[in-house]
Amino acid sequence: MSFESKQKASDYWRENLKLMFSLLVVWFVVSFGCGILFVDELNQIRMGGFKLGFWFAQQGAIYMFLVLIFVYVYKMNQLDKKYGVYEDDEPAEQTNTAAAPEVQQSHAQQSQAQQLQGGH
């Protein structure tokens, strides 16, 4: 993954950290808040025969964590596309197989040049 500028890289990571922090806050509120702090109020409601506070402590936090994982993946794919660092699942097709060694050599030269310049 390479960015066009250090400013774009900084903006990308700032948005990434903001997303992670907000999702962790949601998970904390659901797991700690609903499962421990607000358990007495939630136990007034029943869900499937169980008190809602008990359900959140035993199942709800786990389900919310799984939902937040999918939300994170979706939002990160959007963020990657926004900053031009999205990686396609399919490799680029080569139209000419005879050119393959030349392309590999070109990539090797670029990698070597980056290493000499201190890049990765």
CA dist., res. 100 & res. 22, Å (int): 45
Residues 13-31 pLDDT 10s: 999 999 999 999 999 998 8
Task: Check: CB of residue 56 under 8 Å from CB of residue 35.
Answer: yes
Residues 52-62 pLDDT 10s: 888 888 888 89
Q: Split the chain (120 residues) into runs of 10 and give each run's mean pLDDT.
A: 80 94 93 87 88 86 93 94 80 52 59 60
